[in-house]
Amino acid sequence: MNLAVFCSGKGTNLQAIINAIRKGEIEARIALVISDRKDAYALRRAKDAGIKAVFVNPKDFSCKRDFEVRLISYLKEERVELVVLAGFMRILSPFFVREYKHRILNIHPSLLPAFKGSRNAVRDALEYGVKITGVTVHFVDEQVDNGPIILQKAVEVSEEDSEESLRERIQQKEHLLYPLAIKLVVEGRIRMEGRRVRIDSLPCSG
């Protein structure tokens, strides 16, 4: 299966996916990495791994639809079957989502629906005073952080946690959970029943 990974920043989840593919844990190929930021370190990670990396500047387009048409043209050129959002800081429109229905994954640093739509869910969780937060991998639908949930992992919040320390522990879980979710999709072990995602024989995970 050909994957495309969309990133806006450091690309740590991208690196986790690259590592999992190299280890043979995911039988897929990252055909393309796209970023909306020229200075995104994710582009360097992709190039270092020999993966096609493209910067698409949203400012070059008169409207969001034209920007997304360009994204789709890249995806079709590389015969991409699954789109993976890994720190991509743009909300995809219903037009794009319909084009790749049930073929777009996202990861969010909270236990959705908690802190849904937040651009800083880790900080919001700390400020709210929650005792448990976590990570969610979900399909993308036409609403923000609303699609059917594939996997979740809880992370306890300690009294001593800072935003930085909590974010670090959450990212550790992300780097395990996202490759696992991709593996399940690639292997066809996901069944959709309305909003519920059924998983056949979930493998062991940390």
Catalytic residues: 108
How many angstroms separate the CA atoms of 13 and 84, rounded?
Answer: 10
Q: How far apart are CA 8 and CA 174, in angstroms?
A: 16
Dist CA 104 CA 144 (whole Å): 13
- Specify whether the CB–CB gap between 18 and 45 falls below 8 A: yes
Residues 110 and 5: their CA atoms lie apart, in Å, by 21
The answer to whether 140 and 104 are in contact (CB under 8 A) is: yes
d(CA 39, CA 99): 28
